[in-house]
Amino acid sequence: MIPTFVFVHGSGSSAHAWTVTQREMASRGHRTLALDLPGRGAGFTQAYYEQDLETFAAEPSAVSGLTADDFTGQVVDAVQLARHHGPVVLVAHSFGGLPVTAAANAIPELIDHVVYIAAQCPVERAPGEYPALPEWSSSALFTATAPLMVGDPTRQGFIRVNWRGADRVRRAALRDAISGELTEEEFLQVVVTSQPDEVFWLADPSWDHRADKDSWGRIPRTFVRLLEDRSMPLTAQDLYIAEGDALTPDNPYDVRDLESSHAGFFRKPAGLAEILDDLSVRASAGSR
């Protein structure tokens, strides 16, 4: 049976990020579904669009009060829907690895394969503890986004980033951190739909959903290492792989390498599509 690829976006993103990937996958005969996680897909406020910063800073957030269970439930619902049509390959990018891991803990029998694209998969510690580890120290993401932060996440309870407020120098720093191989115009196509608000998962104990050996651990899984990633360094990616392999040595990651930055593959998806194309054959065979 033909599998359905269910795509889960990363932080500050939305289902729109997968549009070019879905087009590439469709040209290869694949069926795909891209999710908007809670608080996504509703567009931007007028204050953000017009850069009325005083109003924008005071606006309530669509992600206020959302918990890890809200995000996990969205993924579980999508998998259950897609499963009616055959095997499911669940694909996570970056922060999307957190709700995907929690969903894999909850419904392993409905998932035929999990793919982490430089995505977070906590095993030995709480998700918010990883970015403070030495393996993350070379990340350029936090210094690039810090000047664009609006308000205090610890007080607000959510993260707000003014992506539209980046001048040329700050855009250059963002492009270097997120998708350094893209041109300025290509990068703007990536960042133009970036969502300003994100849940403050770094300090929220509800997000402590670590990979479970007896559920998540029995699903075949692939980790796509992004070799030019300056947001989640290779050392951080390799840490997630090593911890997962140690948890289930009889079911280690199938590791693939992709010459891409953290988000560059969204505009140039052929390499990723080739990897997923191969995994489609495996998922189809495993479902028979």
**Three-state DSSP class for residue 260:** coil
What is the per-residue pLDDT for 190? Answer: 80
CB 199 within 8 Å of CB 212: no
What is the per-residue pLDDT for 193? Answer: 85
CB 181 within 8 Å of CB 228: yes
Segment 10-59, tens digit of pLDDT: 999 999 999 999 999 999 999 999 999 999 877 799 999 999 999 999 99
DSSP code at position 250: T
- CA dihedral over 75, 78, 84, 90, signed as positive or negative: negative
Sole residue written with tokens 């998922």: 283
- CA-to-CA distance for 67 and 70, rounded, in angstroms? 5
Residues 6+ apart with CB under 8 A from 34: 6, 7, 9, 15, 16, 17, 18, 19, 22
Q: How many domains does the chain have?
A: 1
Sole residue written with tokens 């500050």: 12
pTM, rounded to two decimals: 0.95
- CA-to-CA distance for 147 and 144, rounded, in angstroms? 7
Its domain, for residue 60, covers 4-286
Nearest to 24 by CA among 272, 264, 260: 272
- CA-to-CA distance for 75 and 68, rounded, in angstroms? 11
The domain that holds 128 is classified in CATH as: 3.40.50.1820
Question: Strand locations in 121-253, DSSP E?
Answer: 158-160, 197-199, 221-226
Segment 75-128, tens digit of pLDDT: 999 999 999 999 999 999 999 999 999 999 999 999 999 999 999 999 999 999
- CA-to-CA distance for 214 and 53, rounded, in angstroms? 48
Segment 245-256, tens digit of pLDDT: 999 999 999 999
Sole residue written with tokens 């694209």: 117
- CA dihedral over 211, 69, 265, 48, signed as positive or negative: negative
